[in-house]
Structures are given as structure tokens and as C-alpha cells.
Chain A
Amino acid sequence: MSETAAQPQVETHTPKELVRQPLVLNNRPLGWITEQVAGIVEGKMPRWWNVAFTISFLVMMMCFTYIGYLILTGVGVWGLNHPVAWGWAIVNFVFWIGIGHAGTLISAILFLLRQKWRTSINRTAEAMTIFAVICAGIFPGIHVGRIWLAWWLLPLPNANSIWPQFRSPLLWDVFAVSTYFTVSLLFWYMGLIPDLATIRDRLRKNADKCTTGCEKLINKVKQYLYGIFSMGWIGSNRHWRNYEKAYLLLAGLSTPLVLSVHSIVSFDFAVSQLPGWHTTIFPPYFVAGAVFSGFGMVLTLMIPMRALFKLEEIITVRHLELMCKVIMATGTIVGYAYGMEFFIAWYGGNPYELYAFKNRAFGPYWWAYWIMISCNVISPQLFWFKWSRTTPWFIFVVSIFVNIGMWFERFVIVVTSLHRDYLPSSWGYYSPTQVDILTFVGTFGLFMVLFLLFVRYLPSICIFEVKGVTPQADPHAKEGGADKVEGGVH
């Protein structure tokens, strides 16, 4: 302290009230974390899982049935008509792709911001991302009409030597969404490697406990599969070094990726000249909305999951509270964008633009607009109150509102901007058909099937990262010869 001798002493005492809550409650040992998370994968699934899976599976099959019907019949089975030629398919696509953004935000951006609380929730959120992108990918795939020609979207040589036209934002979507899916999958898989090794090793240790031949066989098969995918991970520090670096780089790549994906989705609308679609704030506004909706879905999934699997000590109320704060922040950013759009519609002096916005709020689709405003701008403001942020059932309810609100936001953007063209003779009122509605409902089945399989077969919490943020993981902890080691500067 010689260098600070001339300086006044800075007091570093933290009052009790402001001491940070631990990320894993009750000071559990490392082995307990392994047991708690890996135990879910190894044990038998409870009855609710079977019930939920059956229902989700049936709903998913309904989705596939309607898609089959659509392909056999044509897009006429949807409610699309002049002037609204982009309907639920686009709305659903943007909705699902937006859901995915929270996963990448939690796994990449919060990682770069060194928000350690992300460790308890990043695995589930990343899984959710991948499943949401799968659901999203369905809609542009089927709405091209002649689905067997969908490969024309890719730059593949064909007999007519026709190449894709890269000035179209829809083609940018193809690249953005497929990159997003691939990179999210890589990132997710990379995080899984050490945890798959944990399950592999536990299966090996438990092999002796298998009594019947059948159990032994299952154990062998599982050991083999988890072993293959864990890539022979042995927790070597020389490996960890490259691993952590690669993880940091993937996070660094995913962050601009997640911004670009929803920006490019917003370009679908904003590069046009249509009043209500063409506005320069669309890219960041879409990204904020996507993160907002994604956190809504994370909470919708996580609150029941932590209760059903008894993970309250790892996914603590503090985690929920922090997620609520993100919802509040992004919801408010979205509110800023809504306000800015309206303001500039007035400020810019384009009468069509101003009409489009007045029509949104007070025209035939006023109900959709006000559902959007109440769910997206007003409901997150409830999180100013501490009680709201720390009461799981209440958060769950608000998270449902967030999901609803963000679906309606896309509906408002797509439909209200289209349904009144410049000429009153081209005005119409768009309504979905049964096929529209049930296909969309069906995608929730697909999403839940994938999610339930995920919690069944893969560790749903990142075991090694949670261990890394516990106090006993700190090599400079007071007990145990730490005084012999000098602090390394990173």
C-alpha cells in the first residue's frame, strides 16, 4: 500500500443490505450441483413429463397435417388476399425468430458483459433459441407456395443459369436465418461438451449399479452416445485454455450476429417505401423487441421448469428478478421506438405516413394496436415494483402478456400497413382462416416437443459454468493454502 500512502483511505465496506445474493443458494458443494442437474437426465421422467409430451406431440402432428394440406392444396387455404398478401406466415416467422434472440443475448452478450448470473439460464435459453429458429424456419419455407422450388433461394447452379437476386431482403433472410441457426447450434454444442463428459463419466461410475441385462445394455448405449458427443473431453487445463478462448470468440461473433439477424428481418419491411414499414429506427427497434419477447419466453419456460425439477437453488429468485429488469428495459426501448415512429410520422410531414399511424391506433385494427401497447409498453412497467419482480407466478403471468404483445406487434406492423393501400378501392380487412390459426398453434407443439426432449436427454443447466461461479471455485479462497499463490492478472 506504499503507493497509496499519500492518498486518503477508501472505505470498501459494503452494508449488509447491499451485499449481493449468491448465485447458488445455501453454499452447496460442487458435487451437489452435478447431482442436481445430471440427476434429471439419468432419472425416470415424472408423470407430468409424459402427459406434456403426449399433448405436445399431438399438437405438433396437427401442425404437420395442416402443412401437408397446404402443400397439397396451395396457399389459397390461408386468409391472404389483395391487399394483404403477407399475413400470419410472416407474422409467425418474425415472432418465432424474435423469441430466439433472448437465448443468444443471454449466452453471448451477457457473457461479454461478465454477467455471471447467466450461467444458470444460458443452456435452456440457447436450446430455446434453436427450437424457436426451427419453428420460424417453417413459415418462409411453406409460404413460397411451390415448396419444391424453395431451393431456388440458395445460390445453386441450375439449368436456366438463373442466380438469386441479392438485392432482395428476403434473400438476406435466407443467409441470416441459416447462419443464425448454425452458429447458435455450434455455440450450444460447444457449451455442452464438458457437461456431456460429466454424464458420460457418471454413466461409467453407475455401470456397476445396473442389475438386469437390459439396464446394462441401456447404460452401454448411453455411454457410447454421450461419449461420442463429448469428444473425449478430459477437463485438461490446456484444453480449457483454448476452449475458453473459442467460447469468447463465439460469443463475440454471436453478438453482432444476433443484432444483424433481426435487423435483416426488419429490412424485409424497412427497405420498402410503404408507410408504416419504411422507417430508419426499425433495425435496433426490432432487436430490442426480439430480446424482449425472448426473455418473455425464457421466463414462461423457466418458471415452471425450476419448480417442477426443484431447481430453485440454482435458478434463484435473483435470476428471475434480473430477467424481469431486462424485460422492463427492452420493453421501454420498444416503447421509445413506438413513440419515435409516431413522432416522426407527424414531424416528417408525409400525409400517407401519418395516416398509416393514425389508422393503426384508431382504424379497424385498433384492438390489435392497443393489445400491443398494453402488453409491450405498459405491462413491463409493473416490474418497477420489487414484489412484481420477485413473485414467480406473477412474473409468469406478465411473461405470457409479453409473448402475446410481441406477436401482436408483428401483426400490427404487417397487416395494418398493408390493409389500406393508397387507393380506397384497394382497401380490405384481413382475417385468418382456420388453417392459419391451427398451423401457428401447432408450431407450439413442435417447440414443446423439442424442448421436452431437451430437458429429458441433455443437462438443462450448464453444470461446469455454475460450478465456476460458486465461492468454492475461487482458487484464492481463504482456506486451503491459498496464501501460497499469488493472484494472477488476467
Chain B
Amino acid sequence: MSKPFAIMAEYETPAEIMAAAKKVHGEGYQKWDVHSPFPIHGMDDVMGLDNAKVGWFTFFGGLTGFVTGMVMIYFMNKFDYDVVVGGKPLFSGFYAFPVAYEMTILLGAFGSLGGMFILNRLPRHHHPLLANARFADVTDDKFYVVIECEDERYDENLTRTLLEGTGAQHIEMVEDAQ
């Protein structure tokens, strides 16, 4: 059965939605979001979002890669297959560096992309907004503020009045068809 998921307001320009977002944030809503075809510069501050945490995934990915590379070469060429080549020591950080370095980048990159997906809870193909016909313009040229009904401060009339006061050109309820 379908139940109301959120209230959605549509805007034409980044400036309009910026002003609207400032108001919504000022009212103290928590479970709400701004949807736009491209990242809007300065929106994170207006929404009161802190610094993204993706960097930690990258850092630990990279660290794992570097250590794996060095340890792998150390054991393979110093113990398991200890052949002297070119008069070089059996193990040296110098010749092991290129491979360990590439491993750092490889796992760091997986960490970044994976971290982004994990933090964003993606992929999610069944989001109620995806079922809304009007919302399809979000990847084209429209901007939306969406306030979820589960938010503590949500009130059917008050929230709608708030959004109306921000100059939204269209407001509608989004259903969650479950």
C-alpha cells in the first residue's frame, strides 16, 4: 500500500533553491534534502552539512595497498624466490617502490569510489522519488527541496506553508508505493 513519503517543492533556479534551503535549515528540519542537476556551490554550508568523510576510505585503502605491495615483494623475493638479479639486494624498498606505489593508488581509488557508495547508501534503485513523474526533471533543469514525512518537525500544513513561502512554483506529496 502506498503511504506519503515526503513533500516536494520545485524551483527554477539555483538562487531560489538556495534561499529556500536556508529557510528550511533555519526551521530545524533534519530529514530533508536538496536535489539538483549539478552540485550547487555553497549548498553544503547552507544545509549545515559538515565535511565529507570519504577521505578516510581513501586513506586506509591506500595504506592497505602500500603495505600489501611491500610485504608481498618482501616475502616473494627475499624468501620464496631468492635469486640475485643485477647485483641488487634481495629486498630493497627502492625497487619495491614502484609496485607498492601502484597498489597504493589502486586500493586508494577503490576506497574513494566504494566510500562514496557506502556513505551515500547507493545503489538504491527503489527510491520513492524515482517513481515520481515530475521528479524526473531533477537530472535536467529543475531543483527540488524534499522534506520527509518522518521528520520530527514535519507537519502537513505548516511544512507546506513554509515551502509555499519560499516561492516554489509547484508543491506535491510523494507517495511511497510499498
Which A residues contact B (CB, under 8 angstroms)? 29-31, 34, 155, 161-169, 171-172, 175-176, 179, 182-183, 186-187, 190, 194, 197-198, 200-202, 204-205, 227-228, 231-246, 249-250, 253-254, 256-257, 260, 264, 267, 463-465, 467-468, 472-477, 479-482, 484-485, 487-490
Chain B 1-36 against A: per-residue CB contact (8 Å), 1 yes, 0 no? 000000000001111111100100000000001111
CB-CB under 8 A for A235 and B123, given A162-B81, A167-B77: no
Residue numbers in A under 8 Å from B38 (CB-CB): 194, 464-465, 467-468, 473
A130 to chain B, nearest CB (A): 14
How distant is the Cα of A473 from the Cα of B18 in the complex, in angstroms? Answer: 11
Report the tally of A-B residue pairs with Cβ distances under 8 A. 248
B173 at the interface (CB under 8 A from A): no
How distant is the Cα of A467 from the Cα of B33 in the complex, in angstroms? Answer: 20
A341 to chain B, nearest CB (A): 23
- Cross-interface CB contact of B41 among A464, A475, A479, cutoff 8 Å: A475
How distant is the Cα of A2 from the Cα of B76 in the complex, in angstroms? Answer: 67
Chain B 35-67 against A: per-residue CB contact (8 Å), 1 yes, 0 no? 111111111111101001111001000100000
B73 at the interface (CB under 8 A from A): yes
Residue numbers in A under 8 Å from B98 (CB-CB): 169, 172, 175-176, 260, 264, 267
Question: Do the beta carbons of B113 and A237 come within 8 Å of each other?
Answer: no
CB-CB under 8 A for A234 and B127, given A249-B55, A253-B108, A260-B101: yes
How distant is the Cα of A197 from the Cα of B129 in the complex, in angstroms? Answer: 13
B83 at the interface (CB under 8 A from A): yes
Residue numbers in B under 8 Å from A227 (CB-CB): 125
How distant is the Cα of A485 from the Cα of B86 in the complex, in angstroms? Answer: 66
A374 to chain B, nearest CB (A): 34
Query: Within residues 92 to 148 of chain B, which ones have a CB less than 8 A from any CB in chain A?
Result: 95-96, 98-99, 101-103, 105-106, 108-110, 112-113, 115-117, 119-120, 122-127, 129-130, 133, 135-141
How distant is the Cα of A432 from the Cα of B126 in the complex, in angstroms? Answer: 57
Question: Do the beta carbons of A242 and B45 come within 8 Å of each other?
Answer: no
How distant is the Cα of A473 from the Cα of B135 in the complex, in angstroms? Answer: 19
CB-CB under 8 A for A488 and B16, given A166-B76, A167-B85: no
* Minimal Cβ-Cβ distance residue in A for B73: A166
Residue numbers in A under 8 Å from B103 (CB-CB): 175, 179
Residue numbers in A under 8 Å from B15 (CB-CB): 475-477, 479-482, 485
- Cross-interface CB contact of B120 among A242, A468, A482, cutoff 8 Å: A242
7 contacts between A and B (CB under 8 A): A166-B95, A168-B85, A176-B98, A194-B139, A202-B139, A256-B105, A482-B18
Question: Do the beta carbons of A485 and B139 come within 8 Å of each other?
Answer: no
B84 to chain A, nearest CB (A): 9
Which B residues contact A (CB, under 8 angstroms)? 12-19, 22, 33-47, 49, 52-55, 58, 62, 72-73, 76-77, 80-81, 83, 85-86, 88, 95-96, 98-99, 101-103, 105-106, 108-110, 112-113, 115-117, 119-120, 122-127, 129-130, 133, 135-141, 167
| Interface secondary structure of A, over-half rule | helix
Residue numbers in A under 8 Å from B13 (CB-CB): 472, 477, 480
Question: Do the beta carbons of A250 and B112 come within 8 Å of each other?
Answer: yes
A241 to chain B, nearest CB (A): 5
Question: Do the beta carbons of A490 and B41 come within 8 Å of each other?
Answer: yes
Residue numbers in A under 8 Å from B17 (CB-CB): 475
Question: Do the beta carbons of A477 and B76 come within 8 Å of each other?
Answer: no
Residue numbers in B under 8 Å from A253 (CB-CB): 58, 62, 105, 108-109, 112
Residue numbers in B under 8 Å from A205 (CB-CB): 133, 136
Residue numbers in B under 8 Å from A249 (CB-CB): 54-55, 58, 108, 112
CB-CB under 8 A for A260 and B102, given A201-B138, A231-B123: yes
Residue numbers in A under 8 Å from B80 (CB-CB): 161, 163
Question: Do the beta carbons of B138 and A234 come within 8 Å of each other?
Answer: yes
Question: Do the beta carbons of A474 and B41 come within 8 Å of each other?
Answer: yes
Question: Do the beta carbons of A485 and B19 come within 8 Å of each other?
Answer: yes
How distant is the Cα of A236 from the Cα of B72 in the complex, in angstroms? Answer: 41
Question: Do the beta carbons of B44 and A237 come within 8 Å of each other?
Answer: yes
* Minimal Cβ-Cβ distance residue in B for A35: B140
Not counting A197-B139, A253-B105, a sample of 10 additional A-B residue pairs whose C-beta atoms are within 8 angstroms of each other reads: A30-B141, A167-B77, A171-B99, A202-B139, A227-B125, A231-B124, A239-B122, A250-B112, A260-B105, A484-B19
